[in-house]
Structure 1
């Protein structure tokens, strides 16, 4: 019998979420890890492979695509919603808890990278049933991001956001902008590390698209996981890129200071270099060591 299960589960609003579930390949199951993507990412960029990796080390693992992205349902496509993505996390957590067969599989770990890491911090602050959290290069304060965006870029993002929201309210197709693009484009991310790194990170995916609905920009400044960090009681590991221009490392270190049971490991890389083998190999070693310590 195969240890991999690909299926759809229902979200809170009955739309379907595609999950990729891998059972531990050892006799002793240490816990269950749920893996979430960064903004615009799909689970076949890397998280399916990471789920297999963790299964070889004694963990059940579940990767998933947010609704409107990748292999999950949801229309229109490429619609980014913080609220919906947090609902998707909660739906996968509910599925995991419902299908836990013994005490060890109920030990629950949230693993998120980039925007997915931001979500794990929010969930850790709002739930009391998470045993451990691993957040890779999370942006912890999007208000800071907005305030430090060049005014002309901010104006362009705002205009496109209004065109998207107003247009969809009158039945028009979504206004899409690139996830990554050159400095003078209307893209969400225009830094050199993003332009070079994101397409390379997504190259393994057959469903990734360099597009996202523009309307999310009007809500971004209100998402501030750092403000809830003091409520996180789960064991927490932050993997921080010390040369990150997208998720400011100094703010991530502040989360470590505010959370009750947190530690950090810093890496000499930028946001997307963390996904390169020379850094991934080390982060995975650090994460396994962390899990072995906090899950016993």
Structure 2
């Protein structure tokens, strides 16, 4: 399905639990709204989570941000923080109109950069029933300092070229890869980044993995973790202790300020909890959290 956001539309999948027609007609169910992280699209393992939530009886609305994946928006691969948060507000509003959905039991689920978005979304919308922030981006300065200085310098130069070109002579965006090998000019260059991203990419598909370089100027000024203290609903923070992309120290500090926050630590890297045994532990903990705070019935 699609829903409107701004002047464009977002593409989404809707997962519905296997229930009888009688139950569907009489039982309003919680709906989990889900989206990915930095340059990610729904095909990158979000289906694995949604399938497990749906099997437990939850509706799931899984969407792509504008400018990415199957969603509208030009230019392509433009990562704009405020636009993505507008997409979250539009997705939540759409979820509340879905057949079978209980508008008072909307859960927001975000991973990586999207984990920061759901912190802000839940802080701003007191009707949100619960939030799950998985290996969330919470502190732009900390994430920027995790990038080697020479790489940061190259990213800044490319970002400035993108801004100047797009605003003064209306050129197409200057792009930068979202991930690469250590020493390359990319947003994520930790030793586990390339293998980690490639493990969650769907086999045989061509998913663009670059973004407009101007984003590099915005990330250092973004601190979504500061809004954790304003979340009034139950909040689950899945924190990877070996996270080389979203440093776990600041995340734990911010998560501890959430009045109804629950922190779960995993001895894993940033990309590990999407697959294998780490995924199983992680999704089991998330389902337990949902069952406690937003039960299906």
TM bucket by the smaller chain? over 0.9
Partners of 1:64 and 1:288 lie apart in 2 by 20
In structure 2, the gaps of 5 or more residues are: none
Aligned CA distance change for structure 1 residues 90 and 287 (closer, same or farther; 3 Å) = same
Residue 10 of structure 1 is matched in structure 2 by 4
In structure 1, the gaps of 5 or more residues are: 1-6
Partners of 1:144 and 1:29 lie apart in 2 by 41
Which sits farther off after the overlay, 20-29 or 55-64?
20-29
* Deviant stretches of 4+, over 6 Å: none
Partners of 1:94 and 1:216 lie apart in 2 by 27
How far off its partner does 1:90 sit?
0.7
Aligned CA distance change for structure 1 residues 193 and 57 (closer, same or farther; 3 Å) = same
- Note if contact 1:29-1:58 (Cα within 8 Å) is conserved in structure 2: no
Q: Normalising by structure 2, what TM-score?
A: 0.92
- Note if contact 1:176-1:214 (Cα within 8 Å) is conserved in structure 2: yes
Residue 4 of structure 1 is matched in structure 2 by none
Residue 113 of structure 1 is matched in structure 2 by 111
How far off its partner does 1:185 sit?
1.7
Partners of 2:147 and 2:48 lie apart in 1 by 34
Q: How do 1:12-27 residues align onto structure 2 when only pairs under 5 Å count?
A: 13-26=6-19, 27=23
Partners of 1:129 and 1:106 lie apart in 2 by 6
Aligned length: 288
Aligned CA distance change for structure 1 residues 126 and 205 (closer, same or farther; 3 Å) = farther
Which sits farther off after the overlay, 274-283 or 93-102?
93-102
**1:223 paired to 2:202:** no
Aligned CA distance change for structure 1 residues 82 and 205 (closer, same or farther; 3 Å) = farther
Aligned CA distance change for structure 1 residues 19 and 234 (closer, same or farther; 3 Å) = same
Aligned CA distance change for structure 1 residues 204 and 94 (closer, same or farther; 3 Å) = farther
Structure 1 residue matching 2:69: 3-state secondary structure: coil
Aligned CA distance change for structure 1 residues 254 and 266 (closer, same or farther; 3 Å) = same
- Note if contact 1:43-1:65 (Cα within 8 Å) is conserved in structure 2: yes
Residue 89 of structure 2 is matched in structure 1 by 90
Q: How do 1:176-191 residues align onto structure 2 when only pairs under 5 Å count?
A: 176-191=175-190
CA RMSD of aligned residues (A): 1.6
